[in-house]
């Protein structure tokens, strides 16, 4: 009885093994069942995980149907992290030829900074189009990099008109460069700057050295470095070649070879005195002469670190515009019934200016105050990365006073955040 039961059990195991090592493959004559040993001896058998040569055949792998395409965990995570962004070109009332690029996230409600379109120099008409008020000839700059789509590019080209071109992209900070997928585990960061360059191969891209992400480096055509200021002159003649290179108007950075004499001068404390004497001797680098050179430029690029270590602000003096990025916080989220401290000021939520600061409140205040003190007479409108354009009234002293009041509010709130431990002071970084 026990021997018979054992034989039956053994026969069952052998049959189970035979089934486990057998599977069905496709052929024109119908499925054929082969054992593992038979497969090893048959050179004509196609490995079942390959694609069938006849699309009408029913492919069976083992005793179960397996899809032809696998499922990638990376793909699943990346797809779940993606959002769809809709960007609209919104002309700014009162500023001829200037528009906001307002981006809205469809699903997540994530925040996107405001970007802009602006002519490099004041708009002018060609002689043959003087009777048509809607036709201008201009080169345009795009301030920061919005999500790319053919629809947005079409809107931009429609806004620019048939005789204007998008020639320049000015990046205020790395946070204003859009990525086409959200960063997540197993997911690669891909900047849409690549897509803009593919669509507009002649587009010049300018950014400060410290704010160029690794994946964007090959698309940046001019890397700014040093304290600046930097200037660009637009040559609007149709036949002229457009040189989109900024030139440094202030004292350029220099690299000196290390030698015994240089070491001795540093140890003796003479280097700073020598540099100051050299500065005084070079009249072209005096503040007055630098200002004269700025007056001749259509765009003045200012190094204003704080929100990030390589933040830039761009002035268009002839148009009285300041594209401040995150440097000057003018977003006002207070309703009329609860104005708080009063006037426009920084947003007090988790996505506000303060909680996204990387370079330190102190450093940003230093940059913003310097911008206001030295250049308030060059602009009447602040176009920030957050919030609406701020139109300033009065003479430049009144404009300066209004902006400094906003900066005082920002500094006070920032210091409170730091004392609460919400922020780390980046000044020591």
Mean pLDDT of 184-188: 51
Looking at residue 409, its pLDDT comes to 83
Structure tokens at 398: 């009144």
Residue 219 neighbours by CB distance under 10 Å: 20
Residues contacting 381, CB < 8 A, separation 6+: 95, 320, 321, 322, 389, 390, 391, 392
**Domain 82-249+297-303: which CATH number of 1.25.40, 3.10.20, 3.60.15, 3.90.1070:** 3.60.15
Looking at residue 417, its pLDDT comes to 78
Looking at residue 60, its pLDDT comes to 47
Which strands form 165-170's sheet, in the order they lie side by side? 85-91, 99-105, 115-119, 139-143, 165-170, 204-208, 222-224
Looking at residue 281, its pLDDT comes to 52
Query: What b-and-e string marks burial along 155-167, b requiring 16 or more CB atoms within 10 Å of the CB?
Result: bbeebbbeebbbb
Give residue-wise pLDDT tens across range 126-149: 555 555 555 678 899 999 999 999
Mean pLDDT of 27-43: 41
Mean pLDDT of 383-398: 91
Structure tokens at 424: 């780390």
| Greater pLDDT, 124 or 167 | 167
Which of the given ranges, 36-50, 123-137, 283-297, 361-375, has the highest pLDDT on average?
A: 361-375
| Greater pLDDT, 186 or 310 | 310
Q: How confident is the model at residue 85 (pLDDT cuts 50, 70, 90)?
A: confident
Burial class (CB in 10 A: 0-12, 13-18, 19+), 404: middle
User: Does residue 425 have a pLDDT over 60?
Assistant: no
Percent of the chain with pLDDT over 90: 37
Percent of the chain with pLDDT over 70: 59
Q: Where are the domains of the chain?
A: 2-70, 82-249+297-303, 254-296, 308-429
Give residue-wise pLDDT tens across range 215-273: 899 999 999 998 989 999 987 554 444 567 899 988 776 666 667 776 776 676 665 54
Q: Where are the beta strands (DSSP E) in 32-98?
A: 32-34, 85-91
Looking at residue 298, its pLDDT comes to 94
| Greater pLDDT, 67 or 14 | 67
Mean pLDDT of 78-103: 85
Please state the pTM of the whole predicted model. 0.72
Looking at residue 77, its pLDDT comes to 57
| Greater pLDDT, 403 or 261 | 403
Picking from 6-20, 192-206, 267-281, 307-321, which range would have the lowest pLDDT averaged per residue?
6-20
| Greater pLDDT, 179 or 232 | 232
User: Does residue 83 have a pLDDT over 70?
Assistant: no
Mean pLDDT of 19-27: 41
Q: What is the mean pLDDT of the chain?
A: 75
Give residue-wise pLDDT tens across range 332-366: 655 454 444 455 556 655 556 666 677 777 888 89
Q: Where are the beta strands (DSSP E) in 5-160?
A: 23-25, 32-34, 85-91, 99-105, 115-119, 139-143
| Greater pLDDT, 22 or 113 | 113
User: Does residue 422 have a pLDDT over 90?
Assistant: no
| Greater pLDDT, 280 or 196 | 196
User: Does residue 26 have a pLDDT over 50?
Assistant: no
Picking from 3-7, 208-212, 215-219, 259-263, which range would have the lowest pLDDT averaged per residue?
3-7
């Amino acid at each position: 009885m026990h021997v018979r039961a054992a034989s039956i059990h053994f026969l069952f195991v052998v049959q189970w093994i035979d089934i486990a090592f057998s599977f069905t493959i496709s052929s024109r004559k119908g499925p054929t069942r082969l054992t593992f040993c038979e497969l090893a001896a048959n050179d004509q058998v196609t490995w079942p995980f390959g694609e069938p040569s006849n699309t009408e055949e029913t492919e069976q792998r083992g005793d179960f149907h397996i899809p032809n395409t696998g499922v990638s965990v990376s793909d699943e995570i990346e797809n779940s992290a993606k959002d769809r962004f809709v960007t609209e070109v919104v002309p700014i009332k009162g500023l001829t030829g200037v528009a906001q690029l307002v981006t809205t996230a469809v699903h997540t409600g994530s925040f996107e900074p405001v970007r802009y379109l602006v002519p490099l120099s004041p708009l002018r008409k060609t002689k043959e189009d003087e009777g048509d008020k809607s036709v201008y000839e201009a080169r345009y700059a795009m301030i920061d990099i919005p999500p790319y789509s053919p629809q947005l590019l079409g809107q931009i080209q429609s806004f620019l008109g048939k005789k204007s071109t998008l020639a320049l992209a000015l990046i205020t900070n790395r946070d204003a460069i859009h990525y086409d997928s959200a960063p997540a585990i197993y997911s690669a960061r891909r900047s849409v700057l690549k897509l803009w360059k593919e669509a507009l191969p002649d587009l010049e891209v300018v950014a400060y050295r410290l704010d160029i992400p690794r994946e964007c480096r090959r698309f940046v055509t001019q890397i700014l470095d040093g304290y600046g200021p930097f200037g660009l002159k637009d040559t609007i003649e149709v036949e002229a070649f457009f040189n989109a290179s900024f030139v440094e108007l202030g004292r350029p950075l220099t690299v000196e070879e290390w030698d015994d004499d240089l070491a001795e001068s540093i140890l003796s404390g003479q280097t700073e005195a020598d540099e100051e004497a050299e500065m005084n001797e070079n009249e072209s680098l005096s503040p007055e002469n630098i200002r004269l050179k700025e007056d001749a430029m259509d765009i003045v690029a200012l190094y204003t670190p704080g929100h990030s270590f390589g933040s830039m602000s761009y002035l268009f003096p002839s148009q009285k515009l300041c594209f401040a990025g995150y440097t000057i916080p003018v977003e006002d989220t207070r309703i009329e019934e609860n104005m708080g401290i009063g006037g426009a000021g920084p947003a007090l939520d988790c996505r506000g200016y303060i909680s996204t600061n990387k370079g330190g409140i102190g450093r940003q205040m230093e940059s913003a105050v310097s911008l206001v003190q030295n250049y308030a007479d060059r602009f009447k409108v602040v176009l920030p990365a957050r919030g609406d354009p701020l139109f300033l009234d009065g003479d430049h002293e009144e404009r300066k006073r209004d902006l400094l009041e906003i900066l005082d509010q920002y500094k006070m709130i920032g210091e409170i955040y730091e004392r609460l431990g919400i922020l780390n002071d980046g000044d020591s970084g």
